Amino acid sequence: MPKINIDGKEIEFKQGQTIIEAAKDHGIEIAHFCWHPKLSVSGNCRMCLVEVEKMPKLVIACATTAADGMVVHTQSSKSLAARNAVMEFFLINHPLDCPICDEAGECKLQDYTYKHSVGESRFVEEKVKKGKRIQIGPYVMFDADRCIMCSRCIRFCDEIAKDPELTFTKRGDRVFLTTYPGEQLDNLYSMNVVDICPVGALTNSDFRFKSRVWEMSLINSVCTGCARGCNIELWVRNNEVLRLVPKYNEDVNSYWMCDHGRVNTFKFINAEDRVDGPHIRVEGNLTRVGWDEAYAEAASRLKAFGKDEIAVLGSAFATVEDNYIASKFAKSVLGTGNLDFVRHIDPSFGDDILRRNDITPNSLGAELAGVKPSKNGNDFNGIIKAIKEGKIKALYILEDDIIAENSELENVFAKLDLLIAHATNFNKTTVLADIVFPAATYAEKNGTFVNFNGRAQRIRPAVATLDVDRALEGMAMSRWDKFGTKFDRWAQGKHFDARSSWKILVGLASAMGQKMKYGMAEEVLLDMANNIDAFKGLDYDVLGEFGVQLKTVNSKS
């Protein structure tokens, strides 16, 4: 492979790479604003100017192709002076309002001011005033006086979202970012411009002024908005999720995620309608009770039915671990083969970028975990038919508001003698339930999702339930200190009395006289690894940060 020398370090690079790409691959940072690895090169910020031997002037690293034997100096006196001058120009008309800017703490301009600027300005004239608090889209606010005209947002809309909505108008220091006439920044991926904006010009309207970045903790997780399973970061303060941002994973979502996943998949976690503790219907009303009482009531009532009179519905919203225990509970504890889950397909949701028509995070995972009818059992349609005919009298549902999608099922479920539901929030299905168990959300538990393409990925607890020890399940004691600061912050917020669905089922199985010896989520996954070929060899360490492609699963388009 060809080699290039950067600041005395000889590195290999791929033919056709630019200097900045070659440096990035080897952990060498060259300061930049406008360059982004997934966008075309614009070369308009000039921040990446470097000195290359045998070239008469400085070159921009983002647009200069690396050549074999090239010698590059990023820290020479010429390079440092150039970056200093570029920073001085950027700061001439900048409002310097870091104390009130949402980007503070994760702002390239702020960081580079300390690294590459002298900390003072020779400019004494009045700054050019531009607009503030301009709502350019339903989710994006624009502060024009902070914009450095890097054009990242424009290129994103043109090249990634495939919906040109932004452009520059005017010239010189009067350049202004705006939408095209009659347009709004309202494409399905509009909020990605907030992530890639290197300053605080474009901000998230939903998150604006809610918290400083250094006041929050972050946990890596998986978006539950569809079967893509975008990698995300959950940002939490006082035990409340405040924002989601995409986490880079080239095999799943690259640097991006859609607005639906970013806005609509976390607010239910902190909502007022959370199921806080077990509930039993008493005289027509759901009444909160203790866990032991709820287990005893559910066990007593389930024992009153024959195995063919009971059905269990797993959930494509629940984890692989939850569904695996649901399958074992149905077959081993209840003895029923009436087992399935509902597939939620919305033909209008998917697109050619990230979004999938399957609007659940774990359909394939539920199927692989064994949530399917036995030889003589009923699938979902058969279960509904049997309920109508009075053959199935008791139904157990995991984390799925089935009635919300099909209102006709309300009259069907009304025929049941017993309906038990696991739910994170009260919903249309719990309205009919006789017993409701409070299920932990994806932000409150350890677990695994399998996306449409057969990639198994981890979710982790970012928010604590009442039992913090349970929220830390699967984490070795020696690792607690590493995350102690994050967990200590949880004590300041509200804690819901909820548990992972697999734990609830283990507790109920015990109340029914059958022991399931699982103490934490990883033990469930290890059992699956020993019994299901698709999960062979898996544990949470193997899944790691980016997940694992299941070898026995064929990729689906």
Residues 327-374 have pLDDT tens digits of 999 999 999 999 999 999 999 999 999 999 999 999 999 999 999 999
Map tokens 């025929």 to a residue: 415
Percent of the chain with pLDDT over 70: 94
Identify whether the C-beta of residue 17 lies closer than 8 Å to the C-beta of residue 66.
Answer: yes
Domain end marker among 252, 270, 288: 270
Q: Two tokens at 370? A: 């064994």
Check whether 481 has a pLDDT greater than 90: no
User: What is the chain's mean pLDDT, rounded?
Assistant: 93
Residue 180 domain-assigned (yes or no)? yes
Residues 39 and 129 placed together within one structural domain of the fold: no
Residues 346 and 247 placed together within one structural domain of the fold: no
- State mean pLDDT over 405-427: 96
Q: Two tokens at 538? A: 């898996």
Residue 116 domain-assigned (yes or no)? no
* CATH number of the domain bearing residue 77: 3.10.20.740
pLDDT band at 257 (very low <50, low <70, confident <90, very high): very high
* CATH number of the domain bearing residue 363: 3.40.50.740
CA–CA distance, 473 with 488 (Å, rounded to integer): 16
Residues 54 and 129 placed together within one structural domain of the fold: no
Q: Two tokens at 467? A: 């039992």
Domain end marker among 270, 296, 330: 270
Residues 234 and 316 placed together within one structural domain of the fold: no
Residue 503 domain-assigned (yes or no)? yes
Question: pLDDT tens-digit profile of 429-475?
Answer: 999 999 999 999 999 999 999 999 999 999 999 999 986 544 454 45
Residues 319 and 413 placed together within one structural domain of the fold: yes
113 torsion bin: left (phi>0), alpha (psi -120 to 50), beta (else): alpha
Residue 490 domain-assigned (yes or no)? yes
Tell me the CA end-to-end span of the chain in Å, nearest whole number: 35
Question: Which pLDDT belongs to residue 483?
Answer: 42
Identify whether the C-beta of residue 341 lies closer than 8 Å to the C-beta of residue 380.
Answer: yes
Domain end marker among 270, 294, 316: 270
pLDDT band at 554 (very low <50, low <70, confident <90, very high): low
Within 13 A of 227's CA, how many CA atoms are on the CB side? Answer: 25
Q: How many domains does the chain have?
A: 3
Q: What residues does 261 pair with on adjacent strands? A: none
Residues 207 and 322 placed together within one structural domain of the fold: no
Provide the domain limits for residue 223. Answer: 99-108+123-270
Dihedral angle at the C-alpha atoms of 180, 185, 188, 191, nearest 10 degrees? 140
pLDDT band at 259 (very low <50, low <70, confident <90, very high): very high
Q: Two tokens at 158? A: 């043109």
Question: pLDDT tens-digit profile of 28-67?
Answer: 999 999 999 999 999 999 999 999 999 999 999 999 999 9
Residue 62 domain-assigned (yes or no)? yes
Check whether 480 has a pLDDT greater than 60: no
Residues 365 and 430 placed together within one structural domain of the fold: yes
CA–CA distance, 130 with 147 (Å, rounded to integer): 10
Which residues lie closer than 8 Å to 467 by C-beta, 6 or more apart? 499
Residues 48 and 85 placed together within one structural domain of the fold: yes
- Helix boundaries (H) for 251-331: 259-264, 291-302, 320-328
Tell me the residue ranges of DSSP E strands in 115-230.
134-135, 140-142, 166-169, 176-179, 202-204, 217-222
User: CB atoms < 10 A from the CB of 160, how many?
Assistant: 21
Which residues lie closer than 8 Å to 231 by C-beta, 6 or more apart? 220, 221, 222, 223, 246, 247, 248, 249, 252, 253, 457, 546, 547
Identify whether the C-beta of residue 376 lies closer than 8 Å to the C-beta of residue 301.
Answer: no
Residue 473 domain-assigned (yes or no)? yes
Residue 114 domain-assigned (yes or no)? no
CA–CA distance, 257 with 249 (Å, rounded to integer): 11
CA–CA distance, 413 with 419 (Å, rounded to integer): 8
Query: What length is written for the chain?
Result: 557
State the helix-helix crossing angle for 77-92 and 108-116, rounded to 10 degrees.
130
Q: Residue 239, exposed/middle/buried by CB under 10 A (0-12, 13-18, 19+)?
A: buried
Residues 514 and 488 placed together within one structural domain of the fold: yes
Run of H or E residues at 241? strand 240-246
How much is the pTM?
0.92
Map tokens 């539901």 to a residue: 421
Run of H or E residues at 455? strand 455-459
Residue 113 domain-assigned (yes or no)? no
Residues 300 and 254 placed together within one structural domain of the fold: no
Residues 461 and 523 placed together within one structural domain of the fold: yes
Question: pLDDT tens-digit profile of 104-162?
Answer: 999 999 999 999 988 778 888 888 889 999 999 999 999 999 999 999 999 999 999 99
Residues 249 and 284 placed together within one structural domain of the fold: no
Q: Residue 410, exposed/middle/buried by CB under 10 A (0-12, 13-18, 19+)?
A: middle
Question: pLDDT tens-digit profile of 289-320?
Answer: 999 999 999 999 999 999 999 999 999 999 99
